[in-house]
Each structure stands twice: as C-alpha cells, then as structure tokens.
Chain A
Amino acid sequence: MAELKLPISEKEIRSLVVGQFVHLSGRMITGRDAAHTWLMQEYRAEVAPYLKDTVIYHCGPVVNQKDDGSWEFVAAGPTTSIREEPYQADVIARYGLRGVIGKGGMGPMTLAGLERSGAVYLHAIGGAAQVLAEAIPRVEKVFMLEEFGVPEALWVIHVDLFPVVVSMDSHGVSLHDAVEADSKAKLKELIASKA
C-alpha cells in the first residue's frame, strides 16, 4: 500500500484514482460541522497554515488530557461527511486543502471542487475508532476548543500510516455515485419483481 506524506503536492494528489488504498503520514487537522461554517464566515489566518496542502479530517474524537496538559486521542473514527457538502468545495479552494477524510462520501459540489482545486476524498472506515486512534500518535494543538467543545474543535494532529481509501478523485470519479446508481437500479428491479 502506498504511503503518502503530508503536506502533499497537487501533482501527487492528481495521480490518485478511486479504489486506491493509501496510508497517510504527517500533519493534518480535524474539522466538522461548526468548523466548516466558521472557516467560511471569514478567512481564519491563524488556522490557514494548518490547512494548506494537507487534509481535513471529519472527526469528532474522544480526547484525554494528560497530567502534563498534553492531549491524546482515545477514539477517533470519521463522521458522516455529507453534512459539509454546502461548504466543502469552498473551504478546499479558500485554504488550499489537498483532501478530505470522512465517511459516506460527498455530493456533486464537492466532486466538482476536487477536480477544480486538485484534491481528493479519502474514505476512512466508519466506527473504526480504535484502529484509527492508534494511527494518531500526537496531538499538536487545538483551535476553538472552548467555543465548540471537544468533538467540534479543530485538532492539529500527526498521523502515522493512517489507513484510507480514495473514493472520490480529482478526475470527476466518485465510487459513491456508482454504488448509488447501481442500488437504485436494483431497487426498481426488486419492486417490479413483486406486485
């Protein structure tokens, strides 16, 4: 399985295609519902360097604060991404993100945004909170913890061989569109089979 180092170049991202399994290593940031609205309200210069050329992880972790004040992720799987559909393409373009990690896939606005900006959607396994937390050895810092609470804060994290699969690439291909179309055709067939 290929290992991709973060930060990553547009060229490397554009070489990825749907169905490829990859391991990510390096620095990324978490952000979900409150974060996406906040990132679009105005340009957040303090967070921008942590978004540039890396990926945002749709994740609301369980976090433990150790005695020395440092943080560790106790459980950290992906949350459903489709809620960020209204914002995602703009967040990618505005902050120079190279990808999104989440689950469940995203819609046509994001797919078009990935192609335009040179980014990918990476699917992590939903609910695999222990497997994924083990791939996050370090928490560097956190933004908006007081305001958004633990699940919604933006956590700057370091990952080591974090496992994902490309399910939407920068060439306009979405695995989710294909599966949805096939399942809708099958539903029609099933309904027609019984009157």
Chain B
Amino acid sequence: MFNNVDLVETFTELIRRASTQLPAEVTDAIERGRAREVDGSMAQKALDTILVNITKAGEKSAPLCQDTGTPVVWIKYPVGVSTKRLKEDFTAAVHRATELKYLRPNAVNTLTGMNTGNGAGRGIPCIHFEEWDEPGLDVRMILKGGGSENVGIQYKLPDSRLEAGRNLEGVRRAVLDAVVQAQGKGCAPGVLGVCIGGDRVSAYEHSKEQLLRPLGDTNMDSDLAALEERLLQETNELGIGPMGFGGKTTILAVKLGVLDRLPACYFVTVTYMCWADRRAFARINQEGAISWLS
C-alpha cells in the first residue's frame, strides 16, 4: 500500500505549508486582538509587525519564524501500512525541508552540543501513530517552537501555593498561573493546550494534541466549554499583552482535554503555543491524492 506514492514529497509540502503559512483563523484572531488594543500602543505596534510578517512569509514561501520548531506529528494509517516506512519517509522529508530552508537545522546533540545539521535527531521529528479503519492516511503536524516550549508547565494538584484543589477551580488557577509565569517569553499572544489528568508523559502529549483543534470550536463537555471561555477572558485580563509589552491580547484560545488518572495523581499540564501557531493537516489516499485540511 502506498508503494507507488512519493510520501517524502507530500510530507515536505506539508512542512513547507506549516512553516510559511499561518492558518487563516489564527491570523483572524490576531487581527481581532489588534482591533482591541489602544491606537499607537506598543501592543498594537507589535501586532502590526506580526501581521506584516505573516503576509511576507506567505508571499515569499519562507519561514514565519526562524525557530521552525519540532515537527510534532499525528499519523493515522490503515492496517498493513508500515509505520517504520512512514517514519523513515517523514524523517527524509525533514532533511529535505531543511535543505530547502523551510526548516532550520534544529536538532542538537544534547551531550556534545553539535548540531546534526539535517533537522532530525533522536526524538526529532516526534511522530505519534494510530491505526484506523479508513483506507487512507491522515497526517496532522504542528511545528512547536522552543521559546514557547520552555514556558510549558505541569502542575500537580493539590498545589498549596495556588490553593488549588483537585477540581476545575484548581485547574483554572493552575492555567492562570502558567500564563503569568510565561509573561511574554512564549511569544504572546499564545494558544494554550491543556491536559487535565493523565501521567507526566501522556499529559504533555495530550496537551499538544489539543492544539490540533480549530481555535473557534466548542468543547464537547459543557463544563470544560464554559471553563475554556472563562479562561480565555481571564487570561486576557492579566494585562501581559503581545510580547509581554502590556495590553489586552495575551491568549488567543484555550483548549482543555482530559485523560483519566491514577488515584494518587492529578496533573494539569499546559502547553503554550506561540502566536506562530503553525500547523498543516492532510489526507492522502492510496493513489497518493492529497486533500489539504488546513
């Protein structure tokens, strides 16, 4: 299956799109933020520069941000497809995209400090596989920058500093605290992917998976939907603003997901995505035809 399909080329195009074109809904959210800021303020000027940058990157087919991030990928595949091959092809696409300057050589040997030079390394790209019943492939990727990755944080409830218990009010306090701790360092205005529950590993992965959701969707769980809306409002009352310059536009969306937990554990895990909320989604059928979902 997919034997006559050049997946390397398709994955390279997926990476190019994500690195150079911001989804329209993200640009729209930034524009709405700009309209709320005071005329002539640092916040508004920062958003103006960001909007010009988005246009230039698209026109030039060049990276929105020089930190082209870690490609984090979720692939659904039909029974019988080799995940070993998919991983090899995706890694080859990362090499190719790095040669073409859609990606920066972004993988560093942690012990020696040497850059691998080709964009890939141990654990990079980060690919999650899931078998499904459809005949084609579903590929969803985010490019997760390092500055915003550094302000991601995991809370263990109860948290006495925050007086946060094991309930949604505790979750609310943790998320608000995460945004205050991040200040502008994650390149605000950001998007928050949050996982409630899970273990220390599954929770971070699930929090990142929340970033695949459309910015404007509504959580299926009505309590979580209400909390997402409330957190979006409250994080923007903190006054941190674009780049941490002060202002009304700090967070563009809050997405909450849930995993079950052990009786002993209650984690709240926050992944912070910068304004350059880069992602690309594709469906690929067995003949190699691609439909772009983003």
CB <8 Å contact, B56 and A131: yes
Supposing A62-B104, A151-B105 touch, asked if A179 and B66 sit within 8 A by C-beta, the answer is no
Residues from 176 to 230 in B contacting A, C-beta threshold 8 Å: 176-177, 180, 183-185, 187
Is B60 interfacial (CB-CB < 8 Å)? Answer: yes
Contact of A125 among B56, B176, B243 (CB under 8 A): B243
Is B81 interfacial (CB-CB < 8 Å)? Answer: no
**Among the listed stretches A46-54, A87-95, A108-116, A180-188, which one makes contact with chain B, having 4 or more residues with CB under 8 Å of it?**
A180-188
CB <8 Å contact, B276 and A127: yes
Is A126 interfacial (CB-CB < 8 Å)? Answer: yes
Q: Count of A-B contacts with CB under 8 A?
A: 171
Is A118 interfacial (CB-CB < 8 Å)? Answer: no
Which residues from A are CB-within-8-Å of B276? 127
CB <8 Å contact, A64 and B104: no
CB-CB nearest in chain A for B240: A183
Question: Chain B: how many interface residues by the 8 Å CB criterion?
Answer: 56
Is B113 interfacial (CB-CB < 8 Å)? Answer: yes
CB-CB nearest in chain A for B101: A74
CB <8 Å contact, A125 and B50: yes
Is A105 interfacial (CB-CB < 8 Å)? Answer: yes
Is A96 interfacial (CB-CB < 8 Å)? Answer: no
CA distance A175 to B46 in the complex (A): 15
Is A148 interfacial (CB-CB < 8 Å)? Answer: yes
Is A40 interfacial (CB-CB < 8 Å)? Answer: no
Chain A nearest CB, measured from B173 CB (Å): 6
Supposing A75-B62, A80-B150, A190-B176 touch, asked if A182 and B187 sit within 8 A by C-beta, the answer is no
CB-CB nearest in chain A for B114: A149
Is B74 interfacial (CB-CB < 8 Å)? Answer: no
Is B275 interfacial (CB-CB < 8 Å)? Answer: yes
Is B23 interfacial (CB-CB < 8 Å)? Answer: no
Is B136 interfacial (CB-CB < 8 Å)? Answer: no
Chain B residues proximal to chain A, CB less than 8 Å: 42, 45-46, 49-50, 52-53, 56-57, 60, 62-68, 101, 103-106, 108, 113-115, 117, 145-147, 150, 162-163, 169, 172-173, 176-177, 180, 183-185, 187, 234, 237-241, 243-246, 274-276
Chain A residues proximal to chain B, CB less than 8 Å: 19, 21, 34, 59-62, 64, 74-77, 79-80, 82-83, 103-105, 123, 125-131, 133-134, 147-152, 163, 165, 167, 175-176, 178-180, 182-184, 186-187, 190-191, 194
Would you give 16 A-B contacts (Cβ < 8 Å), ordered by A? Answer: A21-B45, A64-B101, A75-B62, A103-B187, A105-B184, A105-B185, A125-B53, A127-B187, A128-B53, A130-B64, A151-B106, A151-B115, A182-B246, A186-B239, A187-B238, A190-B176
